[in-house]
Structure 1
């Protein structure tokens, strides 16, 4: 069985620690940006600067197509409710893992009664 040279132990330890310190999952990292984006869009569309956003659901979505030549992009999809001024809307915000930024895919609106 091969032995590890003592001079390589600090390098192996550093690699191990770096691998463990990758930070929170992607879906957690992007959630504040997604809520902020949906809230700003809702405030504009409803003409209601006091509107607030609330996370309704979220999921990580794998790429639809993956081949040996093409690797699709994993993305986080958030459903966010925005309400204020007697109105409410639901937005789907998509954040690709490749760092291209988030975008609001659509909305459904309703009137509070």
Structure 2
């Protein structure tokens, strides 16, 4: 990010006047593309639910499949992300209180 590459060219007009043309390209942060197990669905059970998966990332500016490890605790459970993209969600309950058609949804930004 912020790196610059510069290229200069010498040119001459028809009447012989010389000039230099300089092109400067400044790098920017290209966003990573995250894929893999980005969504999971589970049905209620008699025990607290555990879901897991793997995220992948492709990033021209950084190493692929590199994440910042994090643990996020919310009312409905705990989400843990490892640096290699492995994640786990451990629900805080079995959600037996849900009626037909009801659902609970959690979203986590990585």
| TM-score where L is the length of structure 2 | 0.27
| TM-score where L is the length of structure 1 | 0.26
| Structure that is richer in helix per residue | 1
| Structure that is richer in strand per residue | 2
Larger radius of gyration: 2
